[in-house]
Amino acid sequence: MERTRECIGCGAAASSGDAAAARRSRAAPAAAAPYTAGMGERRFGTRQTWWHVVAWAVFMAAACATARAVEPVVPRAVEPRHTIELVAADPDIVTPVGCTHDARGRLLVIESHTHFRPANYPGPPHDRIRLVEDSDGDGRADRFSTFFEGTRATMALRAGADGWIYVATRSEVFRIRDTDGDDVADARERLTILETKGDYPHDGLGGLAFDPAGRLLFGLGENLGHPYRLVAADGSSWSGGGEGGGVFRCTTGASGTGAAAGSRLERVATGFWNPFGLCVDPMGRLFAVDNDPDGRPPCRLIDVAPCGDYGYQFRYGRGGRHPLQAWDGELPGTLPMAAGTGEAPCSVVLFDGALWVTSWGANRIEAFLPQARGATAAATGKVVFQGGPDFRPVDASLAPDGSLVVTDWVDRSYELHRRGRIWRIKVATGQPRDTTDWPPLSPAELRARRLAGCDVQGRTDAAPATAADRV
Q: Residues 30-64: pLDDT tens digits?
A: 333 333 333 333 333 444 455 555 455 555 555 44
| C-beta separation of 301 from 357 below 8 A | yes
106 CA to centre of own chain: 20
How far apart CA 125 and CA 111 sit, in angstroms, is 12
For 401, counting Cβ atoms within 10 Å of its Cβ (0-12 exposed, 13-18 middle, 19+ buried), the class is: exposed
Alpha-carbon distance values, 350 to 164, 281, 442 (Å): 21, 7, 20
**Residue 232 within a domain:** yes
* 321-352 residue pLDDT tens: 999 999 999 999 999 999 999 999 999 999 99
pTM metric for this prediction: 0.83
**Residue 185 within a domain:** yes
Number of domains the chain is built from:
1
Confidence of residue 463 (pLDDT cuts 50, 70, 90): very low
* 383-407 residue pLDDT tens: 999 999 999 999 999 999 999 999 9
Please calculate the CA angle 154-152-400 and round it to the nearest 5 degrees: 25
Confidence of residue 257 (pLDDT cuts 50, 70, 90): low
Residue 198 is part of which domain span?
Answer: 86-440
CB atoms within 10 A of CB 428: 12
Q: Which residues lie across from 351 on neighbouring strands?
A: 354
CATH number at residue 397: 2.120.10.30
**Residue 15 within a domain:** no
**Residue 189 within a domain:** yes
| C-beta separation of 311 from 330 below 8 A | yes
DSSP assigned state of 270: E
* 126-159 residue pLDDT tens: 999 999 999 999 999 999 999 999 999 999 999 9
**Residue 450 within a domain:** no
**Residue 318 within a domain:** yes
**Residue 161 within a domain:** yes
* 201-252 residue pLDDT tens: 999 999 999 999 999 999 999 999 999 999 999 999 999 999 999 999 999 9
Reply yes or no on whether the pLDDT at 71 is more than 50.
yes
Computed over every residue of the chain, the mean pLDDT equals 85
288 CA to centre of own chain: 11
Q: What are phi and psi of 57, to 5 degrees?
A: -65, -45
